[in-house]
Amino acid sequence: MISRRTFITGSLGVIGATSTVGFSSLLAGCSGGSTSTTTDSVLGLSDLQLVQRFPQVLVPGSVRLPFSLANQAGLLTTESGIELPSTLTAKLINADTQEVVAESLSADQHDTGLTIPYWPFRVDIDKPGIYTLIVDGGPAEGAAVQVLAAAEVLIPLVGSQLPGFDTPTFDDHRGVEPVCTRTPEPCEFHNITLNEALALKKPIAYLVGTPAHCQTGTCAPALEALINVKKSIGDAMTFLHAEIYTDDKATTVAPAVVALKMEYEPAIYITDASGKIIERFDAIFDADEIKAAIAMLGL
């Protein structure tokens, strides 16, 4: 059974997927006078940490590695008073062989609608194993990244079909109360089930998250982003939202989570018209990443 402890109800993303690595001499305070926002030009502030913002569901292929930055007081926000870099650069090393798998990796800062910025690295990894991401200006030991064999990961993967499920709707809550925790009004993405959406043969954006328990993290901003995207796209795409819990006290995990075999929150699945998953964002993502994924569909 998936317990409540598996999920986060605050702003730190995913507890089980969030770990820190000492991060020395990366950023400078705003008083430093530097107007540049590249990694190399903002050196000087020590005792920072690189915080992993992804769950342990990585498989070979195009791997997304979002990180945030933290100091002893916690995760750095857009209001921390520290000049954050617009870009981080890094290399990826095979931890067993010490072979450089990829270098000159680059990740831009993302924070649209979020208070905690993140930097999502993208790298092609062709086999399972333990890897080390070493960020320029960071600690020599880097951050460990585990890539699993696809057979070991139970959640639907990019390239596979999104499995159908009778998600709760306004007409049939299916034991989920409330059916949507967005306030002051629920979102409109509960009119049909996921099964019904798949039958329409249109692209789908399916968000599984709990706005009420993730106001300043990802869930609430992601839902607001979907609402705005819906306004521009209209009926060319089907938008769905399912809650994480069956009640507003967050005591019982909802069936939609069990159906996807999720052990973290939130996640958003983007499919093409056939129901094939073209993108899945886990734990932390913003409106810009969502829009970029949908743009791949020509919408």
Confidence of residue 47 (pLDDT cuts 50, 70, 90): low
Confidence of residue 37 (pLDDT cuts 50, 70, 90): very low
Distance CA 26, CA 83 (A): 10
**Position 35 pLDDT exceeds 60:** no
Residue 3 · residue 206 · CB < 8 Å: no
Out of 37-46, 132-141, 210-219, least confident range = 37-46
Structural domains in the chain plus CATH codes = 4-150 (2.60.40), 154-299 (3.40.30.10)
pLDDT for the residue numbered 217: 67
**Position 180 pLDDT exceeds 90:** yes
As a whole number, the mean pLDDT across the chain is 83
Confidence of residue 101 (pLDDT cuts 50, 70, 90): very high
Residue 223 · residue 182 · CB < 8 Å: yes
Distance CA 285, CA 120 (A): 9
pLDDT for the residue numbered 97: 94
**Position 13 pLDDT exceeds 90:** no
Residue 259 · residue 163 · CB < 8 Å: yes
Dump strand ranges (E) for the chain: 20-23, 28-29, 48-52, 61-71, 74-75, 82-83, 87-94, 100-108, 119-125, 129-135, 143-147, 204-208, 238-242, 267-271, 277-282
Distance CA 157, CA 178 (A): 29
pLDDT tens string 239-252? 999 999 998 888 89
Average pLDDT over every residue of 279-286: 93
Average pLDDT over every residue of 167-193: 95
Residue 125 · residue 147 · CB < 8 Å: yes
Looking at per-residue pLDDT, the higher value among 243 and 137 belongs to 243
Task: Please report which residue ranges of the chain form alpha helices under DSSP H.
Answer: 194-199, 219-233, 255-260, 287-295
